[in-house]
Amino acid sequence: MERVSISDFKRDSARVLNRVRTMGERIVIHSRDEDLAVVVSLEEAALLRRLEDEHDLEEARHAKEEVALRGAVPLSAIKRRFGVD
């Protein structure tokens, strides 16, 4: 991935964004050698969102299976255990 300083990005943002949009590049924006962000295409951002959603669904399925195996604990019991009203 190419790295671009934040000052260069401010100056050349149209060029950088065009490269991301037309060529699908990922570009890291940095300041004083600290990476701040990555600019990616809308398609790649949508893919990341789908992957996150799939991961969340898998965690929910796992939690549901665990409750089915072990049973649920009432919230009141958890509050009592930790001394929370």
pLDDT tens-place string over residues 8-46: 999 999 999 999 999 999 999 999 989 999 999 999 999
Residue 68, pLDDT above cutoff 80 = yes
**Domain membership flag for residue 78:** no
Give residue 33's pLDDT.
87
Q: Are residues 46 and 25 in the same domain?
A: no
**Domain membership flag for residue 23:** yes
Residue 2 structure tokens: 């190419």
Give residue 73's pLDDT.
87
Give residue 85's pLDDT.
74
The mean predicted confidence, pLDDT, of the chain is 95
- Helix ranges (H only) for the chain are 6-23, 42-70, 75-82
Domain carrying residue 26 = 1-40
pTM of the predicted model, to two decimals? 0.69
